[in-house]
Structure 1
């Protein structure tokens, strides 16, 4: 009985080591590519401008809720990568990642709705007819568009997570 427990613990430690080694190798490989592309080919500054420009665009189109939606997007991408690696056979996950996808399914739309409420309240506060009705309408419609974009983005995140969750249910039978 004790030997079986020790063997199970060793197998779990071996899987954890393989997962850690795989993650390290992926980040090391990405780092090497980043170094080569960034410094050798002098693409570091353009890539930095691309990342900052993307974040600025995201903030302008989604709003302040992008602070929560960007990490949620990265979490979803990592979960999809883990599901893919498990499907290919590189990883052997004991539990389905579907439970972690539940977090995205529940939180994504909520963050989108919060972004909608924040942007709509900002739109109502920006109504200033003293400069003209056309300028007031233009300011308001831009913020209403931002409000709708945040809801759409949160719902799309939840839909992708839900599709991956249903794939996991079919695979793990949960």
Structure 2
């Protein structure tokens, strides 16, 4: 998304919050290595005040629905105080990592949980798009799932790796 935004002349910075993102960008905070009391502050530090037309693209971590990682995710949301949220979902995932008896919830459940949590620190925060990981689907299955999800949620939806991030960048440009 950052590359697409810059190609369009938009101001953006990818804010890495995990080891892989830091290896790619050379900058960021490995949030899972920060003492819990300081995780939200690390997220805040990572996203300094900037021009009104500048976007900080904060790398997501974990899941609000995963018992092992939800604290990191919550701290990242509260520290980053997002304006716009891109929901991430992998529809072929049968269970949460390490929790074989727990099926991941729906995108609707994610939206309905994350928006009020984000509004604790930013009353105007809202979901503006959906990123779908379709790596285990055929092209036809992926296209059908994305179209159905977009129609059901009324949010731009894509697999940015397979089909590019243009829809999600459009959502931010129109925000």
Q: Same fold (TM over 0.5)?
A: no
- Category of TM-score, reference length = shorter chain: under 0.3
Length-normalised TM-score, structure 1: 0.27
* Structure number with bigger Rg: 1
Choose between structure 1 and 2: higher strand proportion. 2
Higher-RCO chain (CA-CA 8 Å, sequence separation at least 6):
1
Choose between structure 1 and 2: higher helix proportion. 1
